[in-house]
A and B are shown apart, each in its own frame.
Chain A
Amino acid sequence: MPVENPRILTKNYDTPNSWTLATYEASGGYKALRKSIAMGPAAIRDEVKAANLRGRGGAGFAAGLKWSFLKTHPEKPNYIAVNADEGEPGTFKDRTLMEKDPHRCVEGFIIAAYALDVHTVYVYIRGELVLAIKRIEQAVREARARGYLGSKILDQDFKLDIVVHAGAGAYICGEETSLLNSLEGLRGEPRLKPPFPAVVGAFGAPTIVNNLETLAAVPSIIELGGEAFSKLSRLHHLKDGGVRLYGISGHVNRPGVYEAPVGITLRELIDDLGGGVRTGHTLKAVIPGGSSTPVLRESDTVHAPDEKHPMHAWHGKSHLDVPMGVDTMRGLGTMLGTCCAIVMDETTSMVRVAENLMVFYAHESCGQCTPCREGCAWMARLCHKFADGSATTVDLDTLADVANNIIGNTICALGDGAAMPMLGILKLFRNEFEAAIGKPTPLLGLKVA
Chain B
Amino acid sequence: MAFELTPERLAIFEELLPKYPTKQALSIPLLHICQEQLGHISAEVIEYVAKKLALSTADVKGVVTFYTLFQQKPVGRNVVWVCRTLSCELMGARSIKDALEQKLGCHVGETTRDGEFTVLEAECLAACGAGPMMQLNDEYFENLTPEKLDDILDAARRKKDAGCAATFSPIGIRARKEQ
Contacts and interface: CB of A to CB of B under 8 A. Distances in A.
Nearest to B127: A92
Contacts of A255: 128-131
Interface in A117-131: 120, 125-131
Residue from A127, A171, A251, A340 having most chain B Cβ neighbours under 10 A: A127
Contacts of B93: 445
Contact of B69 (A131, A134, A169): A169
Contacts of A340: 128
Interface string B142-155: 00000000000000
**Most chain B beta carbons < 10 A, residue from A90, A203, A344:** A90
B28 A134 contact: no
A130 B131 contact: no
A166 B29 contact: yes
Contact of A87 (B53, B67, B89, B123): B123
B25 interface: yes
A247 interface: yes
A441 interface: no
B161 to A, nearest CB: 14
Interface stretch (B1-9, B102-110, B111-119, B171-179): B171-179
A88 B24 CA distance: 27
Interface string A413-449: 0000000000000000000000000000001111100
B124 A128 contact: no
A89 interface: yes
B175 A133 contact: yes
Interface string A338-365: 0010101000100011001101100110
Interface string A246-263: 011111000111000000
Contacts of B22: 184-185, 203
Contact of B123 (A120, A125, A186, A363): A363
Main secondary structure of the interface of A (DSSP, over half): mixed
Contacts of B84: 356, 359
A291 B28 CA distance: 27
Contacts of A257: 129
A175 to B, nearest CB: 14
Contacts of B85: 89, 291, 356, 360
Contact of A342 (B66, B128, B140): B128
A161 B20 CA distance: 11
A445 B90 contact: yes
A168 interface: yes
B25 A184 contact: yes
A87 B123 CA distance: 8
Contacts of B123: 87, 89, 171, 360, 363-364
A364 to B, nearest CB: 7
Contacts of B87: 89-90, 249-250, 342
B90 A444 contact: yes
27 contacts: A87-B123, A89-B87, A89-B123, A91-B128, A126-B126, A133-B171, A133-B175, A137-B179, A166-B28, A166-B171, A167-B67, A168-B67, A168-B68, A168-B70, A169-B69, A170-B67, A185-B28, A187-B66, A188-B67, A251-B90, A257-B129, A356-B85, A357-B86, A364-B123, A443-B94, A444-B90, A445-B93
A127 B132 CA distance: 20
Q: Which of B26, B84, B91 has the most CB of A within 10 A?
A: B91
Given A130-B138, A186-B62, 6 more contacts: A89-B123, A130-B168, A167-B69, A171-B124, A249-B129, A445-B94
Contact of A129 (B62, B68, B124, B126): B126
Interface of A: 86-92, 94-95, 120, 125-131, 133-134, 137-138, 161, 163, 165-171, 182-188, 203, 247-251, 255-257, 287, 291, 340, 342, 344, 348, 352-353, 356-357, 359-360, 363-364, 366, 443-447
A78 to B, nearest CB: 13
A344 B32 contact: no
B57 interface: no
B163 interface: no
Contacts of A183: 25
A89 B66 contact: no
A86 B62 CA distance: 23
A445 B69 contact: no
B126 A95 contact: yes
Contacts of A186: 24, 27, 62-63
Interface in B52-80: 53, 62-63, 66-70
B28 A168 contact: yes
Looking at B21, B129, B171, the one whose CB has the most chain A CB atoms below 10 A away is: B129
A287 B89 CA distance: 15
A366 B63 CA distance: 12
Nearest to A251: B90
A88 B85 CA distance: 10
A128 B69 contact: yes
Q: Which of B22, B25, B131, B169 has the largest count of A CB atoms less than 10 A from its CB?
A: B25
Nearest to B168: A130
Contacts of B27: 185-186
Contacts of A169: 67-70
B92 A185 contact: no
Contacts of B179: 134, 137-138
Contact of B128 (A166, A171, A247, A366): A247
A118 to B, nearest CB: 14
A151 B29 CA distance: 25
B169 to A, nearest CB: 8
Nearest to B87: A249
A128 B135 CA distance: 9
B131 A249 contact: yes
